[in-house]
Amino acid sequence: EDQVTQSPEALRLQEGESSSLNCSYTVSGLRGLFWYRQDPGKGPEFLFTLYSAGEEKEKERLKATLTKKESFLHITAPKPEDSATYLCAVLNDYKLSFGAGTTVTVRA
C-alpha cells in the first residue's frame, strides 16, 4: 500500500524566515508527486507536479524538489499569506494518496 508521510505536522515561522517541508513516500509505481495548498474551509489548490528524481519546480516563494524517496517544499522569505496547510500526494495509476499535511503559520 502506498504511504506518504509529511513532517513536521506544524510549522510556525516569522515573516521572512525560510524553511522546508518534507514528504517521504513509498509507492509501487510512482506516476507523479503532487503538492497542494489547502486553506481552511477550501479544497486543495494544485501547486506542483514532479515526475522524476532531480526535478525541481518553482512558483513565487515556493520551490519543490524530488528524490527517489522524498520531496521537499522550500518556502523562501515567507509572508503571512503563505499560511496554509501544504499537502503532498503521490499518484499511483490514477489514485492520489495524500499525506496528513504540514500546517504552516507565518507571523508578521
Cell 525560510 belongs to residue = 18
For another protein, the closer of residues 79 and 97 by Cβ is 97
> Is residue 24 involved in binding another protein (CB under 8 A)?
no
Name the pairing type of β-strands 84-92 and 30-38.
Answer: antiparallel
Cell of 74: 522550500
Piece of the chain touching another protein by CB under 8 A; list 18-26, 44-52, 53-61, 63-71: 44-52
> Is residue 95 involved in binding another protein (CB under 8 A)?
yes
Alpha-carbon span 52 to 7, nearest angstrom: 21
> Is residue 98 involved in binding another protein (CB under 8 A)?
yes
> Is residue 100 involved in binding another protein (CB under 8 A)?
yes
> Is residue 49 involved in binding another protein (CB under 8 A)?
yes
Instruction: Tell me the residue ranges of DSSP E strands in 1-108.
Output: 3-7, 10-14, 19-26, 30-38, 45-50, 56-59, 62-66, 70-75, 84-92, 95-98, 102-107
> Is residue 59 involved in binding another protein (CB under 8 A)?
no
Residues that bind another protein (CB under 8 A): 31-32, 34, 36, 41-46, 49, 87, 89, 91, 93-101
